[in-house]
Amino acid sequence: MSNEKEILVSARGLTKEFAAQASMWNSKKQVVHAVTDVNLDIYKGETLALVGESGCGKSTLGRLILHLIQPTRGSVVFNGTDLSKLSDEELRQQRKSMQMIFQDPFASLNPRWTIRRIVEEPLRTHNMFNGSDEEREKRVRELLSRCGIRPEFMDRYPHQFSGGQRQRVAIARALALNPQLIVCDEPVSALDVSIQAQVLNLLGKLQKETHLTHLFISHDLSVVRYLSDRVCVMFLGKICELGVTRDVYENPLHPYTKFLLDAIPLPDPELRKEDKDMLTGEIPSPVNPPSGCLFHTRCPKCTEKCTKEIPELKRTADGRMVACHLVEGEKIE
């Protein structure tokens, strides 16, 4: 990556460990390593996608970046401010510029509130327009129509809308305070294909208009290819590969990325492969992660070294970052 781009968010050594109990009857303490030592920069105006299988820590990382949960170790610097050093009130002010869209628009909108109240809540909380009702209403109207909801419907309740429309309301709410960063956690995976395309196009359009920065969390690699500038592949709480989306998709370097891409069912029966290489086994437990490279238990190219040494993230010739012993690259400080 060229250094000319401005960095909006910079995470250093970000780690999150959750305490867990072995079982209901066994009070032995266990630690779930959800995110381990992640270094990540998000540039202004880009869409960075976090991909990986369930349980790889992508949603936890998204929440850590917004400081919705406290990291165990490490820091997040947003626009030059270290979020962990802020008081609660300062953090609340900072949150104006960072918003989130959730996966399930049925759960993320209060069913007892009209969509007008839902969208204006952030405006009220931060006392925008000095409490002027008229201006606030004007803003809500404008937000809704920008997201493709007719403003006449603003006094309706969420249950009167379809899933796609509700997700549009959630997007309008996220945009209310003109944020700089929006974390989208699987925003289209609960939607039907034809509706998914409409919402994806809306997100793309809004980004062009407002120069937003998106952190897009998804398990759908086709959606990520369509939408993102850079992609970050995670496995068991660590980054395996991070690079420009096109490079990563055309020439995946980490064996895990390669398997992940090969596994996608392609919507073209002519490309059907009866005997494609498939990843065997399941994701190891984040409670007892394997030694050495976390992926070595499933990796067909595993060597002696992989089982013992943890691979560092290395920068390859084309500027990508890969954590694999078998890939050549220079060390990053």
Partner 1 sequence: MENNVKNTLEIKGMKTHFFTRRGVVPAVDGVDITIPKATIVGIVGESGCGKSMTAMSVMQLLQYPGRIVEGEILLDGENLVGKTKKEMCEIRGNDISMIFQEPMTSLNPVYTVGKQVTEAIMLHQDVSKEEAKRMTIDIFKKVGIPEPEKRYSSYPHQLSGGLRQRVMIGMAMVCKPKLMIADEPTTALDVTIEAQILHLMRQLRDETGTSIMMITHNLGVVAELCDYVYVMYAGKVMEAAPVKELFKNPSHPYTFGLLNSIPKITYTKDELYTIKGMVPNLQQLPSGCRFCPRCEKTMRVCTEKMPELIDIGGGHLVRCCLYDKEVVGAYE
Q: Is 54 in the site for partner 1 (CB under 8 A)?
A: yes
Residue 259 as a binder of partner 1 (CB under 8 A): the answer is yes
Residue (168 or 320) nearer to partner 1, CB:
168
Q: Which of 319, 325, 266, 274 is nearest to 299 (CA)?
A: 325
Using CB under 8 A as the binding criterion, the count of chain residues that bind partner 1 stands at: 44
Counting every residue written for the chain, the total comes to: 333
Are 289 and 236 in contact by the 8 Å Cβ rule? The answer is yes
> Of 175-234, which residues contact partner 1 (CB under 8 A)?
192-198, 200-201, 204, 219, 221-223, 225-227
Q: Which residue's CB is nearer to partner 1, number 71 or number 158?
A: 158
The pairing of beta strand 213-218 with beta strand 47-51: parallel
Nearest to 217 by CA among 61, 18, 112: 61
159 lies in the binding site for partner 1 (CB under 8 A)? no
- Smallest gap from Cβ 231 to partner 1, in A, equals 11
Radius of gyration of the chain (CA): 21
The Cα 286–Cα 288 span in angstroms is 6
Cβ distance to partner 1 smaller for residue 183 or 279: 279
Pick one of 262, 302, 303, 327: the residue that binds partner 1 (CB under 8 A): 262
Closest CA to 41 of 251, 327, 319: 319
User: Which residue is it, tokens 């072995």?
Assistant: 22
Whole-angstrom Cα distance, residue 164 to residue 167? Answer: 5
Name residue 54's amino acid.
S
Select 71 or 286, whichever has its Cβ closest to partner 1: 286
- The region of 34-42, 74-82, 170-178, 260-268 touching partner 1 under the rule CB under 8 A is 260-268
Of the pair 7, 202, the CB lying nearest partner 1 is at 202
Residues near partner 1, by CB under 8 A: 53-54, 162, 164, 192-198, 200-201, 204, 219, 221-223, 225-227, 246, 249, 259-272, 274, 276, 278-280, 282-283
